């Protein structure tokens, strides 16, 4: 049985139709890493544990800014794309994954969500505190700056001491949350990666490795997630491959896998 990797969807809209959307590049990256991707729609936070229990691993995708209220911040004029329902849902997913031991890979906003879930804070707008450009959207599929990776970290074992990354963000981790440590930095000192300090099952990166899959060190991040998820499933099932049960009365949930203008619909059980 292939390793089941859930990708947290973002709210979207096609015409007048509200959808749960995931950029197709996340799906492709999970497949490159050897996993079987599933789109995880936004549900009530009380459903998070039940959802995560059916997964072997979890991806927190990129997107809009977290509501500053989630980390004791103040809304500024550059705040964009806030969706409080998404914030609460993904924070609940992180808590559930930590409680159950499910590996998590956080991408850009996903790193920030991991940090806020651990009690950390965010830099609200990087241009206010650094001259380095961190939002270079016209070069999203190429490395725009190097990162310095902490020796001996989980990330070091995947990418080596440093690599080039893209940069599509205007916020970043500030105070690091409990149980996490910063393991990579941009030239200006901005935190580029976080990982957990105990089990090595949580990794957050500030860049978008799903857009850099031509680089072996970026594919290594996805392979790590799948390998860690497979190991977790084996431990959970006592060394035997588990087959997930479909919850009684599960209703079909409309989901969308999208790459911007192109879109394709799909329906699966919740």
Mean pLDDT of 5-21: 94
3-state secondary structure of 50: helix
Mean pLDDT of 239-245: 40
The CATH number assigned to the domain holding 80 equals 3.40.50.880
User: What pLDDT is attached to residue 254?
Assistant: 37
Strands 104-107 and 57-60: parallel
Does the annotation mark 108 as catalytic? yes
Question: What tens digit of pLDDT does each residue of 92-112 get?
Answer: 999 999 999 999 999 999 999
Q: Which of the four pLDDT bands, split at 50, 70 and 90, describes residue 15?
A: very high
Does the annotation mark 129 as catalytic? no
Whether the predicted pLDDT of 113 surpasses 70: yes
**Domain count within the chain:** 1
Domain boundaries, position 155:
4-269
User: What pLDDT is attached to residue 232?
Assistant: 95
C-alpha 267/C-alpha 251 separation (Å) is: 10
Helix axes 216-236, 24-32, angle to 10 degrees: 70
- Tell me what the pLDDT averaged over the chain comes to: 86
Whether the predicted pLDDT of 240 surpasses 70: no
User: What pLDDT is attached to residue 239?
Assistant: 56
Which positions ≥6 away from 182 have C-beta within 8 Å?
150, 173, 176, 191, 193, 194
Question: What tens digit of pLDDT does each residue of 22-40 get?
Answer: 999 999 999 999 999 999 9
Does the annotation mark 210 as catalytic? yes
7: phi then psi, degrees, rounded to nearest 5: -115, 115
**How far from each other are the two terminal CA atoms of the chain, in whole angstroms?**
19
User: What pLDDT is attached to residue 121?
Assistant: 97
108, 134, 145, 192: which is the annotated catalytic residue?
108
Q: Which of the four pLDDT bands, split at 50, 70 and 90, describes residue 140?
A: low
Whether the predicted pLDDT of 53 surpasses 80: yes
Mean pLDDT of 56-84: 92
Tally Cβ neighbours within 10 Å of residue 106.
27
* b/e sequence 166-181, b meaning 16+ C-beta within 10 Å: bbbbbbbbbebbebbe
If one compares 134 and 3, the residue with the highest pLDDT of the two is 3
């Amino acid at each position: 049985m292939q390793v089941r990797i859930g990708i947290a969807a973002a709210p979207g809209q096609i015409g007048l139709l509200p959808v749960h959307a995931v950029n197709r590049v996340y799906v492709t990256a999970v497949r490159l890493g050897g996993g079987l991707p599933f789109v995880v729609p936004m549900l009530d936070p009380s459903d998070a544990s039940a959802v995560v229990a059916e997964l072997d691993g979890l991806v927190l995708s990129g997107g809009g800014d977290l509501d500053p209220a989630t980390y004791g911040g103040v809304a500024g004029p550059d705040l964009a794309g806030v969706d409080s329902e998404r914030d609460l849902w993904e924070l609940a997913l992180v808590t559930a994954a930590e409680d159950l031991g499910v590996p998590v890979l956080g991408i850009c906003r996903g790193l920030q969500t991991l940090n806020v879930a651990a009690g950390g804070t965010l830099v609200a707008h990087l241009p206010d505190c650094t001259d380095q450009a961190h939002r270079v959207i016209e070069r999203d599929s190429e490395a725009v700056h190097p990162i310095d990776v902490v020796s001996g970290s989980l990330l070091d074992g995947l990418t080596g001491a440093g690599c080039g990354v893209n940069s599509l963000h205007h916020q970043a981790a500030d105070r690091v949350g409990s149980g996490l440590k910063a393991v990579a930095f941009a030239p200006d000192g901005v935190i580029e990666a976080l990982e957990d300090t105990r089990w090595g099952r949580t990794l957050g990166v500030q860049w978008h490795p799903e857009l850099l899959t031509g680089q072996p060190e970026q594919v290594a991040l996805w392979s790590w997630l799948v390998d860690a998820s497979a190991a977790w499933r084996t431990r959970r099932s006592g060394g035997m491959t588990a087959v997930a049960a479909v919850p009684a009365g599960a209703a079909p949930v409309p989901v969308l896998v999208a790459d911007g203008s192109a879109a394709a619909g799909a329906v699966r059980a919740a």
